[in-house]
Amino acid sequence: MFVRHESADRLDPKIVEALSRVQTSTLGHLRDHGFPAGLEPVSRPLKFVGCAVTVRIPHLDSTAVHVVLDHLRPGDVLVVDQSGDRTRSCFGGMVSYTAAARGAVGAVIDGRINDVEEITELGLPVYSRGVGALTTRILGIEGAINVPVTVGGTVVNPGDVVFGDSDGVAVLDRDEALDIAELLRGKEEAEPALRARIDAGASLAESSGARALFDGASTQAGV
């Protein structure tokens, strides 16, 4: 059975601009959820912010991946759930080329990729489970487009904000994206002043609060 729903509205350009100026690892200081685990980029450096277009395929059959390429728009990020299959690749040279030609800004694949040199030369940012020669097939068994999927243990809904850089990839609800971007910007803008204090001899442990917590815990333990 095949299912295809329409893509969500494109992201507000303000979201893209705001998140393009901050880092995923700054978000990692603040929350634990929304980070697909076990994925690595095909190359670094990279940076992308886009709208999730999701696909779920049944292990061997990548028919739906080829179909969704015709519906990608500038600013989209292709997100593929391979139903737990981490050995096969559904994302090779022609798929990556077509995605980039349609305007996709990135891809997040919960499986392997192939034709890695072509993808690297193309410059399309891709997160995946690594590289492998064993691929999926066009079999017409089943698949679903623009449905909730799970990638690296993280649920991704169609239209979510996919935010990736050299440190990792994160998934945000678009309704929270601007507020989060502002929070991250504030934290990052405070870092130059902290570096200046450290250069002047200040303690990072005292500035971060780690020293007070450590000493307090040591006292309670009778150390």
Angle at 127 between CA 48 and CA 18, to 5 degrees: 20
The answer to whether residues 199 and 143 belong to one domain is: no
Do 103 and 211 fall within a single domain?
no
pLDDT tens digit sequence for 10-64? 999 999 999 999 999 999 999 999 999 999 999 999 999 999 999 999 989 999 9
Q: Which domain holds residue 110?
A: 2-186
For residues 36 and 83, membership in a common domain is answered with yes
Let me know whether 73 and 113 are in one domain. yes
125 and 214 part of one domain: no
Domain with residue 58: its CATH number is 3.50.30.40
Q: Quick check: 220 pLDDT over 70?
A: no
Q: What pTM was computed for the model? A: 0.93
Residues 102 and 205 occupy one common structural domain: no
Reported confidence tier of residue 217, pLDDT bands at 50, 70, 90? confident
Which of the four pLDDT bands, split at 50, 70 and 90, describes residue 223? Answer: low
Give me the percent of the chain exceeding a pLDDT of 90.
Answer: 91
Q: Are 49 and 15 spatial neighbours (Cβ–Cβ below 8 Å)?
A: yes
Mean pLDDT calculated for residue range 103-113: 98
Mean pLDDT rounded to a whole number for the chain: 95
Shared domain check, 6 and 53: yes
Instruction: Examine the domain organization and report whether 107 and 194 are in the same domain.
Output: no
Residues of the chain with pLDDT > 70, as a percent, come to: 97
Do 97 and 35 sit in the same domain of this protein?
A: yes
Q: How many separate domains does the chain show?
A: 2
* 182 and 90 in a common domain: yes
* pLDDT tens, position by position, 178-211: 999 999 999 999 999 989 998 999 999 998 889 8
Is 143 found in the same domain as 67?
Answer: yes
- Domain match, 49 and 79 both: yes
